[in-house]
Amino acid sequence: MESVTTLLDQWYWHGIQATTLFNHTMIISSLLLIFFSVLFYKLNTTTAPKLNLPPSPPKLPIIGNIHQLGTHLHRSLQGLSDKYGPLILIYMGSNSPTLIVSSPEIAREIMKSHDSVFQNRPQVMAADVLFYGCSDVAFSPYGEYWRQMKKICVLELLSLRRVQAFQFLREEEVALMVEEIRRGCKEDGADHVLDLGEMFTTLSNNIGSRSALGRKYEDGNNVSFGDLSKKAMELMGTFNFGDFFPYLRWIDVVTGYNAKVRNTAKAFHALLDQVIDEHQQQSSTDQSDKKDLVDILLQIQKEGQLGINLTRENLKAILLDMFIGGTDTTATTMEWAMAELVKNPSKMKMVQEEVRRVVGNKREVDEADIDQMMYLKCIVKETLRLHAPVMVTRKSWSSVNSKLEGYDIPPKTKVLINAWAIQRDPKLWERPEVFVPERFMNNQVDFKGHHKQFIPFGAGRRGCPGMTFAVVEAEYVLACLLYWFDWRLPPGEKVEDFDMTDVFKPIIRKRMPLRLVPVLHSTC
């Protein structure tokens, strides 16, 4: 027993001595580490020039400026810009800095004059999973692949000729919607209250699905592309730790965020595989104007056009881009337009008189009629000005320093151009918070990226390629609804109490659903 005790004693004291030696070693190592860190910092700060960064609001450790951003991101950023200037630098978590732009001149520099530096888009986890490593057009890094994909979109998928070729299906889908509303108006003689936001979303999804895929698709659980698109938009607008605090991305696994993204992507990709398989099995047709976007992409893939090898994953990423990118924003714009017209009855009366005068005694609205509806076009423009659906995003190259307004912009800086704030700037617009369609009458200012104060679709090489498709759809749908029906609020609701507040999700939507009562026009 004594020998065991002696052995334990020796083991104990040897351990104490070893621990003491270890502690001493750790202390010395730590001191050396601190010394060399300070030395490196001093050398770095003395040799490297100090950057002249844009103004920045005070930030907190770790979270940066996140605490200053509310649910209304566009309004929060406008408030910070009003206080600190039109070009400010904020920090969201431990990610790279984010440049907030609310000046049209600086926005134009970024999107056009300096677009060689700011050619990329920020990439988020949801987009990376949904779009096969961001191999779509919207999120793809700038380079040869992106240039070829953009060329395909501009020349083949979303050209004016292609948009005009889809006229027949827009007319068919809108006719179905109008007929459904007409039936509702005749039922029981009671007020038929419609949720126009939901109706516009369904319509845009149907038009988008038929244009891109050839028909409306659902999976085995009756989940449509529209349902999946809504989920995808919500996920891309949902806060997750991985995008802001990479070292905490494991929390997204615990919360189930990652699983939701991957399940949505899996459902999307399975439906797209079904779509592509069906198109490959169908015999080719010479009716090129009747081809949908899948037909066009498969033809490009088969013929090896533009010298690029398109994989199936590339095809699916581009198709998702076409579908997700256009349907929700177009539906939101139409909802805002109708909301503003209800809020402004005199404007509603003027545009209805124009539409009904142009259409005359015909039994339907023809898309060719829209060219004569100048006030309707002003309605759409003013809606896009007052309710810009999205903020324009860019990201600087990882190895390039740049300058804006005399400030140094570090590499990998994300950029948020607050189009919503620019288009409400009192220095640029008279009565900017008021819905005034007349401001665009006999006015050359448009939304095509040529005018710095009006950029709902962005500008430059990264401008939205689906602009024509979206505007043509919005104008035609609104013309049909204004021709066939008068619109009023549900019983008990007053115009002066009408809720026009918005929310950022990540599209700037109407917070409350737009619920209106259609009344069949007496001469229709």
Other Cβ atoms less than 10 A from the Cβ of 435: the count is: 21
Single-letter amino acid, residue 282: Q
CATH number for 186 = 1.10.630.10
Beta-bridge partners for 502: 510
Tokens coding 303:
């013929």
Indicate whether 92 belongs to any domain: no
Indicate whether 405 belongs to any domain: yes
The closest of 404, 397, 411, 422 to 109, measured between CA atoms, is 404
The closest of 136, 463, 146 to 322, measured between CA atoms, is 136
Other Cβ atoms less than 10 A from the Cβ of 378: the count is: 22
Helix 167-186 / helix 196-213 crossing angle, nearest 10 deg:
150
Mean pLDDT (10-residue bins), the chain, 524 residues: 34 33 41 46 53 93 90 93 96 86 95 87 92 92 90 87 92 95 75 92 92 78 78 88 91 96 94 92 62 89 77 92 84 97 97 96 90 97 96 85 89 94 96 97 91 93 91 97 95 90 90 94 69
Q: 401, 411 in Cβ contact below 8 A?
A: yes
Phi, psi torsion values for 283, nearest 5 degrees: -75, 145
Q: What is the pTM of this model?
A: 0.87
Supply the pLDDT for residue 490.
Answer: 92
Supply the pLDDT for residue 19.
Answer: 33
Burial class (CB in 10 A: 0-12, 13-18, 19+), 302: exposed
The closest of 131, 227, 238 to 504, measured between CA atoms, is 238
Check the annotation: does 185 bind a ligand: no
Indicate whether 231 belongs to any domain: yes
Do the bridges between strand 392-395 and strand 414-417 make them parallel or antiparallel, or are there none, so unpaired?
Answer: antiparallel
Give the H/E segment covering residue 495: none
Alpha-carbon distances, residue 464 vs 208, 333, 467 (angstroms)? 16, 15, 6
Indicate whether 316 belongs to any domain: yes
Indicate whether 114 belongs to any domain: yes
Domain with 240 in it: 101-520
Tokens coding 377:
């076009």
How are strands ordered across the β-sheet holding 414-417? 87-90, 98-101, 414-417, 392-395
Indicate whether 430 belongs to any domain: yes
Supply the pLDDT for residue 399.
Answer: 73
Indicate whether 54 belongs to any domain: no
Counting the structural domains of the chain, the total is 1
Tokens coding 198:
């939901």
Alpha-carbon distances, residue 242 vs 128, 247, 413 (angstroms)? 12, 7, 18
Helix 167-186 / helix 467-484 crossing angle, nearest 10 deg:
30
In whole angstroms, give the CA distance from residue 120 to residue 130.
18
Do the bridges between strand 508-510 and strand 502-504 make them parallel or antiparallel, or are there none, so unpaired?
Answer: antiparallel
CA 263 to chain centre: 21
Indicate whether 77 belongs to any domain: no
In whole angstroms, give the CA distance from residue 38 to residue 181.
72
